[in-house]
Amino acid sequence: MTSRNDTLFAAARRHIPGGVNSPVRAFGSVGGTPLFFQRGQGARAFDADGKGYLDYVGSWGPLIAGHAHPAVLEAVSRAMANGLSFGAPTEAEVAMADYLCELLPSLEMVRLVSSGTEATMSAIRLARGYTGRDAIIKFEGCYHGHADSLLVKAGSGLLTFGNPSSGGVPADLAQHTLVLDYNNVEQLADAFARHGDKIAAVIFEPVAGNMNLVAPRPEFLKAMRDLTAKHGAVLIADEVMTGFRVGPQGAQGLYGIDPDLTTLGKVIGGGLPVAAFGGKREIMEKIAPLGPVYQAGTLSGNPVAVAAGMATLQLTRAPGFYETLAARTGQLVDGLSAAAAKAGVTFSAQSVGGMFGLYFRAEPPTSFAEVMTCDKDTFNRFFHAMLEVAPEGHYFAPSAFEAGFVSAAHSEADIAATVAAAGQVFAGLAD
């Protein structure tokens, strides 16, 4: 019997490049036909054939409360009944700005936008406008959305400025981006020693979640803060993924980071398009209409999207929310590690709050180079077998190089079911 996923994918490819509206959805890395989802409820999502999966993607992070949470749906319905958009100020966005500044002590002012890409692109422009410098530092394997300055790979020599990693990005622009190794303190110090007076900003993921999951070394976080402060560069914590995902104050609360600017997205929209950038008042006041750095958006601070985000953030304030989320995510990575060990599969896993990394290598990686040594083929077999295992599927990110997410809707029994299924799958992989 043909799956409706196949029929839809064939139809999708007629008018949508690659059949998808964002590339990683195409299963290019794992092979096969992407699932087309038609419905989600709590920890589960159901595909076009009606088959259910325990979902460990959660729309790539936003769905910390699970799919279709009643409180979120109700807030959205209430907001929707009053009209979808005004392109003028509304009370809801004031409440959200106040709430974000209350929750994250490093935020004195915040501007709402509609995607993580807009947030990071705007933060970079602001840092350049504020410092009057052009160069930025990013780290290999960190993803900050698809703005031109950020689609850059390392230059040919150590500490040389970068080259475009995408067609359509001018080399003239890429040459202002220096791409360094995550967690490498010496290289960062060296870069500042050579180019310190040219560097407008360092942008980083405080837990790297776009090269599977790489945890930050405390000395790396400290070096970034010290060096940017010493050289007058802006430190931008990209918390689009980690914000309100790894703890009640994001990664900055967890690790005691004090960034100049922070970017947020995903959880703060609860599944609708809300993102933000904010930080020190002195820097934020350079944004139009107060200052000379331009930034705008027809749908920025959209009342319906903000309603979903506020309702989601309020759910995360329930007593014990993050303790339970971290415990469940820990249960998953410990369970999977034990199941793999029992089956004799080389595997490791770790979690930070509600996000996790699975690695087909003996130890969790601490650098991009180590991530690249994971056994991608075995991951791909694991991925497909977990989709197909009975009685229900288990949906992980369709790439060996993405972090995974647990929601508050995942029960202990759900995680146990995934671990039990993985036990069977690992036994098959060891053959």
Burial of 18 (0-12, 13-18, 19+ CB in 10 A): middle
By residue count, the chain amounts to 431
User: Does the active-site annotation cover 431?
Assistant: no
Q: How far is the CB of 406 from ligand PMP (least distance, A)?
A: 17
User: Does the active-site annotation cover 53?
Assistant: no
Tell me if 268 contacts ligand PMP by CB under 6 A.
no
Q: Map residues 98-117 to x or -, x wherever contact with ligand PMP holds by CB under 6 A.
A: -----------------xxx
Question: What tokens does 40 get?
Answer: 């989600």
Tell me if 122 contacts ligand PMP by CB under 6 A.
no
Please select the residue that binds ligand PMP; options are 58, 141, 145, 243, rule is CB under 6 A.
145
CA distance 346 to 51: 30
DSSP 113-167: ESSHHHHHHHHHHHHHHHHT--EEEEETT----S-GGGSEE--SSTT---EESST
User: Cα–Cα–Cα angle for 200, 203, 207, nearest 5°?
Assistant: 160
Q: How far is the CB of 297 from ligand PMP (least distance, A)?
A: 13
Question: What tokens does 10 get?
Answer: 């064939």
Tell me if 238 contacts ligand PMP by CB under 6 A.
yes
Tell me if 402 contacts ligand PMP by CB under 6 A.
no
Strands 52-55 and 44-47: antiparallel
**Is the Cβ of residue 272 or residue 415 nearer to ligand PMP in the bound state?**
272
Q: Footprint of ligand PMP on residues 32-71 (CB under 6 A)?
A: 60
Which range in 50-58, 160-168, 202-210, 280-288 contacts ligand PMP by CB under 6 A?
202-210
Residues 6+ apart with CB under 8 A from 112: 93, 96, 97, 274, 275, 276, 300, 301, 306
**Is the Cβ of residue 263 or residue 329 nearer to ligand PMP in the bound state?**
263
Tell me if 302 contacts ligand PMP by CB under 6 A.
no
Handedness of CA 398, 400, 395, 74 (dihedral sign): negative
Burial of 185 (0-12, 13-18, 19+ CB in 10 A): middle
Tell me if 184 contacts ligand PMP by CB under 6 A.
no
Tell me if 205 contacts ligand PMP by CB under 6 A.
yes
Tell me if 265 contacts ligand PMP by CB under 6 A.
yes
10 Å Cβ neighbour count for 400? 24
User: Does the active-site annotation cover 266?
Assistant: yes
Q: How far is the CB of 90 from ligand PMP (least distance, A)?
A: 22
**Is the Cβ of residue 152 or residue 340 nearer to ligand PMP in the bound state?**
152
Q: CB of 276 within 8 A of CB of 263?
A: yes
Of the residues 53, 260, 266, 414, only one is catalytic, namely 266
Q: How far is the CB of 399 from ligand PMP (least distance, A)?
A: 12
Q: CB of 425 within 8 A of CB of 382?
A: yes
**Is the Cβ of residue 264 or residue 343 nearer to ligand PMP in the bound state?**
264
Contact positions vs ligand PMP (CB under 6 A): 60, 115-117, 120, 143-145, 205, 209-210, 238, 240-241, 265, 275
The residues that are catalytic are 143, 238, 266
